Amino acid sequence: MSRSMTGARMVVEALRDQGVDTVFGYPGGAVLPIYDEIFQQNDIKHILVRHEQGAVHMAEGYARSTGKPGVVLVTSGPGATNAVTGLTDALMDSIPLVVLTGQVPTFMIGTDGFQEADTVGITRPCTKHNWLVNDTDSLAETIHRAFHVATAGRPGPVLIDIPKDVQFATGTYLGPKQIAPSRYQPARKGDADAITRLVELIETAERPVFYTGGGVINSGPAASQLLTELVDATGFPVTSTLMGLGAYPASGKSWLGMLGMHGLYEANMAMHGCDLMINLGARFDDRITGRVADFSPGSIKAHVDIDPSSINKVIPVELPILGDVGHVLEDLLKIWKARGRKTSPALQQWWAQIEQWRARDCLAYKPSDKLIKPQHALERLEALTAGRDRYITTEVGQHQMWAAQFLHFEGPNRWMTSGGLGTMGYGLPASIGVQVAHPEALVINVAGDASWLMNMQEMGTAVQFRAPVKQFILNNERLGMVRQWQQLLHGERYSQSWSESLPDFVKLAEAFGCKGRQVHDPADLDDAIREMIDSDVPFILDVLVEKHENCFPMIPSGKPHNEMLLGDEIAADDIGSAIKSDGAVLV
């Protein structure tokens, strides 16, 4: 039934009809009517952030850990521009968000009004789609469409800019079922012939590998289950990108670990030497391919992706399948089973080869009983939290890569990290978003000292909303990843990569009204981690780690997979010359 109401009321009504339970936001002049409506209801919880970038990352954490779109509400001008980094992050990582921004009244648009910014213009390249709503009658429809666009096909952030007069004016509210179906309906079923072709390849491949990505997570938990079934039934090795961790359980027998620049040796060698590569929802990112011309030279490549622009963008493939990875896996399994579940006997040799690569133990590091090695800290975190339904977020840098290497994920939606944009400052707010969605769960942000400072104001949000997030800071007093690159590529000239004047994180925790602890002795580490895990208030654990540890293995930029740098191969003195400078122009 359609009802008459103000635009501001419509916003709340439409969010409720879309099943939204939480909004992350920050008020200001251009959204006051909406905030007034939020005040007068109890269905939707509003999380007051400390900075709009934090709101967007929280919504990302909420979205990635629930599979539902995250919702953000901010004011015009600076509120909207502060959201831009988060929008870009969500676009790169295919995270569904609906961001509502206030705007100056329609009659003032274009006059450089107070807190006016061309929000749709600024955010056009960093949203999947955006709208400026000019009249109240189209507001409800636009919001419903926005939820559809954000979640259908390849998910992404959308933005609705709502001028203040549109919020005040009265119009007709339409519910989600009252609007005409959207023209935007990306195909979900894959082409049956192409899937059969893939089954034929699976039946005869001698050195196959599944290369899975964030698309499996995007597709929903069913896709992860189907993937696990297919991998276990075929016995094919499986690797994943940073974004896809957890889609196949790390304890599964076919798991090779993450691939790519800081991925595992066995995973990268398998990618390089395979004869059949089955890409499921991954996008051949440059952290994966290394030098494109030498990428997996002898393989037939199949690519299942819902976005036509992902296919053949970087690596030309022989067998593209356009569709939702969950649907395609379902059909694939059916056909493969119906044809007799065949695989090649040569698979055994392939595994024997992989085991040899695995025996290389590429994650080995020099242990220490005097200093906490960051890898060791993560191994202990893993050991002390294993078996718990645990959510991990990260910041960006070495600690992020170590977390991906040393923590194990048994299911999807448990790992939130900024992959495509690599946004320092993502992890703390994301952890709050996850915790808000899962109040009882153990949520840990694995952080570096420098990244953590970028959005540390959000500790206030965590304390206010009793979100007992655990901040696990691997403190090397360095911009560690930058320092590593300077060591490898810039003659060990450590230009501006020191964290000077770091705050006392324990006092900082106290100042925010939560708990903190510092640990530097490996002997105290377990106890400190336990205290952190058991805390029922937000907790900052400042882990002082080895300052100049490098993150290996590493495929230097511009190198192929089979030219990885392994940590124990490089003598400390040679590190500066380990990479030839031709890769230095790449990032």
Ligand X SMILES: Cc1cc2nc3c(=O)[nH]c(=O)nc-3n(C[C@H](O)[C@H](O)[C@H](O)COP(=O)(O)OP(=O)(O)OC[C@H]3O[C@@H](n4cnc5c(N)ncnc54)[C@H](O)[C@@H]3O)c2cc1C
Ligand Y SMILES: Cc1ncc(C[n+]2csc(CCOP(=O)(O)OP(=O)(O)O)c2C)c(N)n1
**263 contributes a contact to ligand X by CB under 6 A:** yes
**422 contributes a contact to ligand Y by CB under 6 A:** yes
**421 contributes a contact to other proteins by CB under 8 A:** no
CA distance 360 to 256: 13
Residues 391-420 that bind ligand Y (CB under 6 A): 395-399
Q: Which of 450, 462, 541, 543 binds ligand Y (CB under 6 A)?
A: 450
**451 contributes a contact to ligand Y by CB under 6 A:** yes
CA distance 547 to 520: 12
Q: Cβ closer to ligand Y: 66 or 81?
A: 81
Packed helices 84-92 and 52-66: angle between N→C axes, nearest 10 degrees: 30
Strands 170-173 and 319-322: unpaired
**57 contributes a contact to ligand X by CB under 6 A:** no
Q: Minimum Å distance from CB 286 to ligand Y?
A: 15
The string over 359-369, giving b where at least 16 C-beta atoms fall within 10 Å of a residue's C-beta and e elsewhere, is ebebbebeeee
Cβ-contact 138, 145 below 8 angstroms: no
**50 contributes a contact to ligand Y by CB under 6 A:** no
Burial label, 125 (beta-carbon count in 10 A; 0-12, 13-18, 19+): exposed
**156 contributes a contact to ligand X by CB under 6 A:** no
CA distance 170 to 541: 51
Residues 296-315 that bind other proteins (CB under 8 A): 298-300, 307-309, 311-313
**54 contributes a contact to ligand X by CB under 6 A:** no
Which does residue 300 bind out of ligand X, other proteins, ligand Y, none, counting CB within 5 to 8 angstroms by kind? other proteins
Residues 482-501 that bind ligand Y (CB under 6 A): 482
Q: Cβ closer to ligand Y: 332 or 403?
A: 403
Q: Cβ closer to other proteins: 220 or 308?
A: 308
Q: Which two tokens stand for residue 222?
A: 């069913």
Q: What angle do CA 221, 231, 68 make, to 5 degrees?
A: 10
Q: Cβ closer to other proteins: 276 or 421?
A: 276
The 126-165 contact track toward other proteins, x by CB under 8 A, reads: --xx--x----------------x---xx-----------
Packed helices 325-338 and 221-234: angle between N→C axes, nearest 10 degrees: 30
Which does residue 197 bind out of other proteins, ligand Y, ligand X, none, counting CB within 5 to 8 angstroms by kind? other proteins
Ranges assigned E (strand) in 179-293: 208-212, 238-240, 255-258, 276-280
Catalytic residues: 52, 114-115, 164, 481
**585 contributes a contact to other proteins by CB under 8 A:** no
Q: Minimum Å distance from CB 448 to ligand Y?
A: 2
Which does residue 346 bind out of other proteins, ligand Y, ligand X, none, counting CB within 5 to 8 angstroms by kind? other proteins
Q: Quick count: other Cβ atoms within 10 Å of Cβ 303?
A: 25
The region, left, alpha or beta by phi > 0 then psi within -120 to 50, assigned to residue 46 is beta
Burial label, 106 (beta-carbon count in 10 A; 0-12, 13-18, 19+): middle
Which does residue 449 bind out of other proteins, ligand X, ligand Y, none, counting CB within 5 to 8 angstroms by kind? ligand Y
Radius of gyration of the chain (CA): 24
The 286-305 contact track toward ligand X, x by CB under 6 A, reads: -xx---------------xx
Of 164, 154, 84, 93, nearest in space to 124 by CA: 84
**281 contributes a contact to ligand X by CB under 6 A:** yes
Q: Which of 59, 269, 306, 432 binds ligand X (CB under 6 A)?
A: 306
Q: Cβ closer to ligand X: 214 or 538?
A: 214
Cβ-contact 279, 302 below 8 angstroms: yes
**268 contributes a contact to ligand X by CB under 6 A:** no
Please give the helix or strand (H or E) that residue 443 lies within, else none.
Answer: strand 442-448
Residues 237-296 that bind other proteins (CB under 8 A): 275-276
Query: Considering Cα of 82, then 537, then 435, then 382, what sign does the dihedral take?
Result: positive
Which does residue 482 bind out of ligand Y, ligand X, other proteins, none, counting CB within 5 to 8 angstroms by kind? ligand Y
Burial label, 572 (beta-carbon count in 10 A; 0-12, 13-18, 19+): exposed
Phi first, then psi, for residue 423 (nearest 5°) are -90, 105
Which does residue 89 bind out of other proteins, ligand Y, ligand X, none, counting CB within 5 to 8 angstroms by kind? none
Which does residue 260 bind out of ligand Y, other proteins, ligand X, none, counting CB within 5 to 8 angstroms by kind? ligand X
SS3 for 173-187 is: ECCHHHCCCCCCCCC
Binding site for ligand X (CB under 6 A): 93-94, 154, 213-215, 218-219, 241-244, 258-263, 281-283, 285, 287-288, 304-307, 310, 324-325, 396, 400-401, 419-420, 422, 481
Binding site for other proteins (CB under 8 A): 120-121, 124-125, 128-129, 132, 149, 153-154, 183-184, 191, 193-194, 197, 201, 204-207, 275-276, 298-300, 307-309, 311-313, 316, 318-322, 344, 346
Binding site for ligand Y (CB under 6 A): 395-399, 422-424, 448-451, 474, 476, 478-482
